[in-house]
Amino acid sequence: MRTETPDVIEKETNLSLNIDHANIIMVSNLVKKFGELVAVDDISFEVKRGETFAFLGPNGAGKSTTIKMLTTLLHPTSGKIILNGHDPVHDKDGVRKSLGIVFQDPSLDEDLTVLENMQFHAVCYNVRKDIRAKRIEELLKFVELWDRREDMVKTFSGGMKRRLEIARGLLHHPTILFLDEPTLGLDPQTRNHMWSYVKEINKKENMTVFFTTHYMEEADRVADRIAIIDHGKIIATGTSNELKSRTNSETLEDAFLNLTGHKIREEEASSLDRLRRMGQLWRGRRR
């Protein structure tokens, strides 16, 4: 017999309305303004459960801002997000339980060892104690950092830190993994390696993957579907083949050019500059 008050029942009904079994992420008319600047300009899209979905766009397109809104770190100016049945604005905890995040900016504690970083994260995310050690070992072996587990993170190269962040993001087996430019600055071999692991978990555990990139080839090769984003707007969404055939293009690069009127490469240089500046800032801050 149900004993809930009408209040609770109503809440449940609302919640169940939010659950869409096909679409794990639903975004409608999402806007983010920073003062006068419209960083995300009325975007709508869906991501299917188990899908690998890419946001492809140049530097400054609004990719990170969107990911931050989806993962509860930024408040939307307007619009609606439903993520695994939860609203990130009103139910931060519900959303946070569902996701793993790998950010564009480094977020490791550099004064801790590899193992300490992993253990700390496992505790934060309530990874069960009996499986914690095994999973940490498995993940660190995969990203080839097991032999370095007692080393402090500050001694690591950029690529090693990225690998550790990825291992850490996967620790609690999230329902959705968010990756913001995860392969920026990694060598091709490490990139491939990272993607084969992410795809393996994606298949094995039906984990949804949402990633951003400005690497055409990466979106083409890795994503089931791609949203092309430019100046805060989604210009087109589809599989790589759909985007190509819609624009009569041989390559995704040509499709991008057709849809946006410019190449993505022109802006890669400025993105690298930005990365360098960020690196300088970061190092300065740690001194």
Residues near ligand ADP, by CB under 6 A: 34, 37, 39, 57, 59-65
Tokens of 78: 């307007």
As measured in angstroms, the least distance from the Cβ of 238 to Mg ion is 22
65 counts as binding Mg ion under rule CB under 5 A: no
Run of H or E residues at 32 = strand 23-34
* Candidate list 52, 64, 72, 175; residue touching Mg ion; CB under 5 A: 64
Tokens of 286: 């740690």
As measured in angstroms, the least distance from the Cβ of 59 to ligand ADP is 4
Beta pairing partners, 47: 25
> Which whole-number Å values give the CA distances from 276 to 41, 60, 105, 159, 187, in the listed order?
28, 16, 12, 15, 16
66 counts as binding Mg ion under rule CB under 5 A: no
**Interface region with Mg ion, contact rule CB under 5 A, candidates 37-45, 48-56, 60-68, 200-208:** 60-68
213 counts as binding Mg ion under rule CB under 5 A: no
Where do the H-state alpha helices sit in 48-128? 63-70, 92-98, 114-124
As measured in angstroms, the least distance from the Cβ of 113 to ligand ADP is 31
As measured in angstroms, the least distance from the Cβ of 57 to ligand ADP is 6
- Select the binding partner of residue 57 from Mg ion, ligand ADP, none (C-beta < 5 to 8 A, by kind): ligand ADP
What gap in Å lies between CA 168 and CA 119, rounded to an integer? 9
What gap in Å lies between CA 99 and CA 68, rounded to an integer? 12
